[in-house]
Each structure stands twice: as structure tokens, then as C-alpha cells.
């Protein structure tokens, strides 16, 4: 197998078993300007960059003399109302509301959040009651929830909605979804909608020495015949454990078992004490749903549970830290990983990619 390192090194290595876990990248749509101006929210680096970007926009808005500029910097457009887009909107809207109160220059200024999706409702893949709960919470906070709408063009300082409205903004947040890493395209193996085809044992058919799991693999969902597992961290983590055991079995230790996981419900953290959940398919909302959501997240963590719990407790009782650290540059988080070259991005503006 040939390999190439991140700094230009390359070579070849022999293997007994190969496990492909390349993961996923942002799902892109053929919308003009998206790769030039949108910010993703998929990796830790993207999350850190986006947090700093949002804080920076409010800080710059607070000292802006031009009301039009101030309005644009205080407007945030999120595209994609699935899990990620809904939670990003909910959490960041709370953060900007708190920060704006601490910036005298934003007294009386509207902090506008827009959540748009072509789907007919928020969280369209979930039970309608959960969708309605999330929509009610967001709208109560002033978020403009726009089902059936999306962005058709992104430009320098604005986005154009499918209704024809031009929204002045410096923050277009892309949460449409993910696709398998482009690495999969360069491998001479069968794919299913961009993901490597594997059997229920996570092995690539016809190549017994190669396995794949996670977002880059189309692992059959044995609880829903004919379907494949979703591209979620919950499946990826469990599949990783299963593929490790199956590889060991292929080398003579233990026996191989198929991957099978039945979802027990869905959890959506809406910030503060709000949440929507249906553990064991019982729809819940409010503080009870939030407590269950956080308890599940704590149990799912591989470590640092005590520290995370302490952080949550402090955040609930003390002022949130909203310092921009500027640790991640725009060059480090291109929306399009196939075209990562950035041309001189200004620190207070969306990055600009070459045409």
C-alpha cells in the first residue's frame, strides 16, 4: 500500500489487515459563493474557528460607525436544520445574546439569527413532536426559522435567499450535512452513494483483508433491512469496536460478529435548560429532556467526565467566557477540502478562495 504524509513524505507499507476509517467532509451543493464565504461546523477546528469568528463579529459591530455594517455583523445565517444546524443555532444564539449585553456599543442592536432548510420543518428526520418542540424554543428566542427556504447565492457581505431576499451578513454557517472523505473516490472498490460498500461484519466484499467503518463506510443497518447506518458518531464509535474484534477474529482470536445497533431514541440539546428528546421513544422536552441529554453525553464520553460535568455546572452558575482566542486561522478550515488554498483572508472577513 502506498501512502503520503501531510508534509509531503511518502512511501509504501505492507499489511496483514487494512482498516479504512477516513471519515467524512462537508457536503457541498452547487451554490455560487458557498466555498468562498461559508463556514463549516464538522471538526473541532471548525468549531473553534466559528466560535472565535462569531465573537469577533460582535466585537467589531460594537465599534462600527456604519449602521449597515453593524447590522451585517450582527446577522448570522445557518443553512441546514438537522441535528447540527439546530444545535449550532440554539447554542450560539444564547452565546451572542449574553455577549451583546456586555458590549455597550450593541445596546438596542438586534442580534439576528436565521435557520433555513429546504425541508418542510426543523429536524425533519425526527418525530414531528420533537421538531415542533425545537421550533417553538428557537422562535421564542427570536430565531427566524425558515422551513422550505435556503440560500441560493453567497457574496461579499450578503447571502441571497430562495425567496429573493438579500440578507446582509458576514456569517454564513454551513450545516447541510457530510459526505464520505474524497479518499474513497480514489480507491478501486465498490461504493454506495460515495461510501465504501461493506458487509455486516464491516469487511469489504471480495477483499477479506480490508475493513471499513464510520462515515466512509456503508455498513448495513440490520435493524432496517435494505438501509445502511447513518453517518453519526454513535454508529462510528460502536463500529470501531466491532471491526477491532472482527479483525482479531480473522487472525484467530475470538469469532466475528455482525454489527447491529438499535437506536433507543434521539437527543437534541437546545442550550440552557432546553432540549428535545425521545428516550425509549417517549417524547420529552424542557429540563427533563435536557438532563437526560446531558447524562447520555457524559456516559458516551471516553474520559474527562468529571471535568465536563464541572464545566457545565460552572457555566450554569457563572458568566460564560466569551474571549476570542484566535487559535485557528481561516486557512486551516476550508469548507472544500479539495481546494484548501486561501488567498490572504482578512481577519474580520469571510475567507476568499480562488475561482
**Angle of the 287-300 helix axis to the 305-317 helix axis, nearest 10:** 150
pLDDT at 151 over 90: yes
| Residue 255 Cα distances to 243, 252, 346, angstroms | 12, 8, 56
Residue 57 and residue 170 in contact, taking contact as beta carbons nearer than 8 Å = yes
- CB-CB neighbours of 326 under 10 Å: 13
Residue 84 and residue 233 in contact, taking contact as beta carbons nearer than 8 Å = no
Residue 324 confidence (pLDDT): 80
pLDDT at 350 over 90: no
Question: Greater confidence, 55 or 339?
Answer: 55
Residue 348 confidence (pLDDT): 46
pLDDT band at 8 (very low <50, low <70, confident <90, very high): confident
- Round the average pLDDT of the chain to a whole number and report it: 90
Residue 240 and residue 21 in contact, taking contact as beta carbons nearer than 8 Å = yes
State mean pLDDT over 152-159.
96
| Residue 261 Cα distances to 84, 124, 246, 298, angstroms | 22, 22, 16, 20
Nearest to 152 by CA among 281, 31, 260: 31
CA distance 68 to 120: 32
CA distance 274 to 103: 26
pLDDT band at 192 (very low <50, low <70, confident <90, very high): very high
Residue 165 confidence (pLDDT): 95
pLDDT at 186 over 90: no
Residue 339 confidence (pLDDT): 57
Is the model's pTM score more than 0.85? yes
DSSP structure class, residue 170: S
Residue 296 confidence (pLDDT): 87
pLDDT of 235-275, one tens digit each? Answer: 999 999 999 999 999 999 999 999 999 888 888 999 888 99
Go through the chain and tell me how many residues it has: 355
Give me the percent of the chain exceeding a pLDDT of 90.
70
3-class secondary structure, 171: strand
Nearest to 123 by CA among 161, 70, 87, 169: 87
Residue 82 confidence (pLDDT): 92
273, containing H or E segment? none
pLDDT at 29 over 70: yes
Question: Greater confidence, 200 or 302?
Answer: 200
pLDDT at 41 over 80: yes
pLDDT band at 36 (very low <50, low <70, confident <90, very high): very high
pLDDT of 92-141, one tens digit each? Answer: 999 999 999 999 999 999 999 999 999 999 999 888 888 999 999 999 99
pLDDT of 55-72, one tens digit each? Answer: 999 999 999 999 999 999
Alpha-carbon dihedral 240, 245, 247, 253, rounded to 10 degrees: 170
Residue 217 confidence (pLDDT): 97
The radius of gyration of the chain from alpha carbons, rounded to an integer in Å, stands at 22
pLDDT at 7 over 90: no
CA distance 174 to 288: 30
CA distance 175 to 195: 20
CA distance 32 to 164: 14
Q: Which domains does the chain have, with CATH numbers?
A: 15-24+179-250 (3.50.50.60), 43-177 (3.50.50.60), 263-316 (no CATH)
Question: Greater confidence, 152 or 278?
Answer: 152
Amino acid at each position: 500500500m502506498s501512502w503520503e504524509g501531510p508534509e509531503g513524505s511518502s512511501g509504501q507499507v505492507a499489511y496483514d489487515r487494512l482498516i479504512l476509517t477516513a471519515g467524512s467532509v462537508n457536503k457541498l451543493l452547487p451554490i455560487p459563493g458557498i466555498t468562498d464565504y461559508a463556514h463549516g461546523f464538522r471538526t473541532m477546528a471548525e468549531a473553534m474557528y466559528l466560535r472565535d469568528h462569531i465573537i469577533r463579529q460582535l466585537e467589531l459591530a460594537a465599534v462600527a460607525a456604519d449602521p449597515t455594517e453593524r447590522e451585517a455583523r450582527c446577522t448570522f445565517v445557518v443553512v441546514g436544520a438537522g441535528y447540527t444546524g439546530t444545535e449550532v443555532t440554539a447554542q450560539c444564539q444564547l452565546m451572542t445574546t449574553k455577549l451583546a449585553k456586555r458590549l455597550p456599543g450593541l445596546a438596542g442592536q438586534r442580534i439576528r439569527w436565521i435557520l433555513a432548510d429546504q425541508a418542510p420543518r426543523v429536524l425533519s428526520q425526527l418525530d414531528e413532536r420533537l421538531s415542533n418542540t425545537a421550533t417553538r424554543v428557537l422562535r421564542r428566542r427570536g430565531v427566524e426559522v425558515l422551513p422550505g427556504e435556503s440560500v441560493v447565492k453567497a457574496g461579499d457581505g450578503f447571502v441571497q435567499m430562495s425567496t429573493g431576499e438579500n440578507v446582509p451578513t458576514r456569517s454564513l454557517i454551513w450545516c447541510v450535512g457530510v459526505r464520505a472523505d474524497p479518499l474513497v473516490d480514489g480507491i478501486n472498490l465498490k461504493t454506495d452513494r460515495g461510501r465504501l460498500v461493506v458487509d455486516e461484519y464491516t469487511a469489504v466484499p471480495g477483499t477479506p483483508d480490508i475493513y471499513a467503518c464510520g462515515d466512509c463506510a456503508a455498513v448495513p443497518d440490520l435493524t432496517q433491512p435494505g438501509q445502511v447506518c447513518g453517518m453519526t458518531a454513535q454508529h462510528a464509535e460502536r463500529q470501531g469496536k466491532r471491526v477491532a474484534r472482527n479483525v482479531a477474529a480473522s487472525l484467530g482470536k475470538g469469532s466475528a460478529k455482525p454489527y447491529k445497533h438499535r437506536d433507543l431514541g434521539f437527543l437534541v440539546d437546545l442550550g440552557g435548560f432546553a432540549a428535545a428528546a425521545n428516550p425509549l421513544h417517549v417524547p420529552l422536552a424542557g429540563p427533563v429532556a435536557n438532563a437526560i441529554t446531558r447524562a447520555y453525553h457524559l456516559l458516551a464520553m471516553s474520559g474527562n467526565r468529571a471535568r465536563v460535568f464541572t464545566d457545565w455546572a460552572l457555566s450554569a452558575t457563572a458568566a460564560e467566557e466569551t474571549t476570542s482566542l484566535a487559535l485557528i486561522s481561516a486557512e486551516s478550515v476550508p469548507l472544500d477540502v479539495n481546494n484548501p488554498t486561501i488567498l490572504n483572508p482578512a481577519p474580520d472577513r469571510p475567507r476568499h478562495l480562488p475561482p
